[in-house]
Amino acid sequence: MPVLWQQLYASRAEGMRASDIREILKVTAQPEVISLAGGLPAPELFPIDEYRRAFEWVLEADGASALQYGPSEGYRPLREFLAQRLSGFGMRCTADDVLITNGSQQALDLMGKLFLDPGDQIVVERPTYLGALQAFNQYQPRYAVVGMDDDGMCVDDLEHTLTREDRIKFIYAIPTFQNPTGRSMSLQRRRRLVELASKYGVPIVEDDPYGELRYEGEHLPTLKALDTTGCVIYLGTFSKILAPGLRLGWIVAAPEALEAFLHGKQPTDLHTGMAQQMATYEVCKNGFVDGQVERIKAFYKERRDVMLRALEEHFPSDAHFTRPAGGLFVWAELPRTVDTRALLIDAVRDKVAFVPGQGFHPDNTGTNTMRLNFSNVPPDQLREGVRRLGHAIQRRLDTASESRVGI
């Protein structure tokens, strides 16, 4: 008798569908498609030579430790390095407050695993990171959605949500150069958010993969730096400042919560790979990462500027798009008549791809929105990609207005 797979899956597996992004990335793997879809860093910037030397050194100096099982908390010198660096950004912590994870994606999964029973609620920004929704969905939560404007999450609406809604387990926020919008939360709202979380005893998960990639303007303190009561769980990653293939991230949290994360991580993977932790420590220990961040910023700033100029030139005048001061993404809102999922089919025919915005909305709104990535595409292709997209949008708008007047 054949195995009837569908009948065997646990009910939580229903929440585990392939993301829009993964499906799109399959199409855009064709070399002639200009992909503004992924969130990939520019591979030109990967510190390949530094890692070649570091891996060689690690294997030579202490190959046995690099290839042996290691501590679940992570490689101590790397945790010490991170604690020192984060303290420099105003997030006072010691190595004991840092847990190394397999990218921050693992931390998001651990949040669900540790905090969510089916039907529990998470406060999220609308829109929010699709990969977080995917991680949380496995645990069958409900979402209490809070809107955003150019100053980030509308924190004034949050208090209402916190008092009205039941079973809220945590607030998930990406306050700096958010994925997908590129927006940042104002300082005033950051303070208010932390204040509200403390007042109501609800933890905040601050997901911060892009915070260091600022191309202009003043540095803003993280929520963690403003946290005096220990209510912020801070998630960081090397993915956007060194390389995502390392799968190295970290959690900084109050000791009690960190211990729970440790117990959640152990049954999943025992620990994060020692070889890449040790090599990363070698790469980082003499200040390399600060110079690397500066190189990345100069490189991406140029690409962001090219994309914004091309959007001004080629997108319809009634389209709105963000002008992010950092990060990897621009978010566009098109006239209501344009369904961006349908638009994507036209766009891929024209050999350009983007991510339709609906998947970033837990309430399935945002049908006329899209996320555009500028970090992974060279400037001439960025211009051409946005030009093709602008034409595809115009064709949709023309068709919509023709059908309105009955042509």
Ligand X SMILES: Cc1ncc(COP(=O)(O)O)c(C=O)c1O
What is the x/- site pattern for ligand X, positions 211-240, by CB under 6 A?
Answer: --------------------------x-x-
Q: Shortest approach of ligand X to residue 396 CB, angstroms? A: 28
Q: By CB under 6 A, which span of 99-107, 317-325, 331-339, 386-394 interacts with ligand X?
A: 99-107
The reply to whether 38 sits near ligand X by the rule CB under 6 A is no
The reply to whether 105 sits near ligand X by the rule CB under 6 A is yes
- Interface with ligand X (CB under 6 A), residue total 14
Cα 290–Cα 296–Cα 300 angle in degrees, nearest 5: 150
**Partners of residue 172 on adjacent β-strands:** 124, 205
Before 180, cis peptide (omega within 30)? yes
**What is the C-alpha separation between 208 and 229, in angstroms, rounded?**
19
The reply to whether 176 sits near ligand X by the rule CB under 6 A is no
Residue whose C-beta lies closest to ligand X: 103
The reply to whether 35 sits near ligand X by the rule CB under 6 A is no
The reply to whether 273 sits near ligand X by the rule CB under 6 A is no
Q: Shortest approach of ligand X to residue 101 CB, angstroms? A: 8
Position among 129, 177, 250, 374 found at the interface with ligand X (CB under 6 A): 129
Non-local CB neighbours of 337 within 8 Å, separated by 6+ positions: 368, 396, 397, 400
Q: Shortest approach of ligand X to residue 392 CB, angstroms? A: 25
**Partners of residue 205 on adjacent β-strands:** 172, 233
Q: Which of residues 296-315 bind ligand X (CB under 6 A)?
A: none
136: tokens are 């949380």
Inter-CA distances, 218 with 90, 152, 215, 324, 374, Å: 15, 16, 10, 13, 22
Position among 35, 104, 134, 181 found at the interface with ligand X (CB under 6 A): 104
- 365-369 contacts: CB < 8 A, separation 24 or more? 365/126, 366/126, 366/127, 367/339, 367/340, 367/341, 368/333, 368/334, 368/335, 368/336, 368/337, 368/338, 368/339, 368/340, 369/127, 369/331, 369/332, 369/333, 369/334, 369/340
The reply to whether 244 sits near ligand X by the rule CB under 6 A is yes
Position among 174, 338, 353, 389 found at the interface with ligand X (CB under 6 A): 174
The residue (of 300 and 315) whose beta carbon lies closer to ligand X is 300
Q: Shortest approach of ligand X to residue 1 CB, angstroms? A: 40
Q: By CB under 6 A, which span of 86-94, 100-108, 314-322, 384-392 interacts with ligand X?
A: 100-108
Longest dimension (CA), the chain: 76
Contacts with ligand X, residue ranges (CB under 6 A): 39, 103-105, 129, 131, 174, 179, 207, 209, 237, 239, 244, 249
